[in-house]
Amino acid sequence: MLRTYTPMAFTKQHIKTSVVACIIDAGDHVLITRRCVGPFCGRWVMPGGKIDHGEPILAALHREVREEVGLEIHVDGLVDVYEHVGIGPKNDHYVILYYRSHPLSFELRPNGAEVTEARWVPADELHRYHMTPGSRHILAQIFPGRLIDPGQPEDELADRVAAGNP
């Protein structure tokens, strides 16, 4: 018996690699911004974005911070890596490298194209802001006991599936 083959339509997908700066001043104030682009439009995050092809990781981090809020930073080191799986209508997959940094300048100039607001928030007040799971997870590591950690990325996906919003 001869079987017929029906080709399936696949959309080429790839992992989007991003960097985020956890900019913390000497008084434990964290710079957070309100996103105005997807994914997570309207949520509070720390400055960052996609790494361009061929761009060194730390060069991308500095570029994104300058573009979004106009600051110069010193990078202290990698905090952790977080991923968002199955985000948006295209089920995007993001791998995000979070770097602890401290500011070398303080005048905030949100660009309006990617972020509408930027503010320095005391660590004890971070729980009041509607942040992405990744931002909350990373900041809970930096400031234990001050934020509730939403869990690992697989918990985030499981919660969305259980809520009927995969």
Domains and CATH numbers, the chain: 15-162 (3.90.79.10)
CA 157 and chain centroid, separation = 16
Of 20-24, 77-81, 87-91, which gets the smallest average pLDDT?
87-91
- pLDDT tens per residue, range 120-147: 999 999 999 999 888 999 999 999 988 8
Cα dist from 113 to 36, 37, 69, whole Å: 7, 8, 11
- pLDDT tens per residue, range 81-125: 998 777 777 777 889 999 999 999 999 999 988 899 999 999 999
pTM beyond 0.85, yes or no: no
> Which region, left, alpha or beta, applies to residue 4 given φ > 0 means left and ψ of -120 to 50 means alpha?
beta
Closest CA to 141 of 84, 103, 99: 99
pLDDT at residue 3 is higher than 50 = no
pLDDT at residue 151 is higher than 70 = no
Angle, helices 153-162/133-142, rounded to nearest 10 degrees: 140
* Vertex 158: Cα angle to 153 and 162 (nearest 5): 150
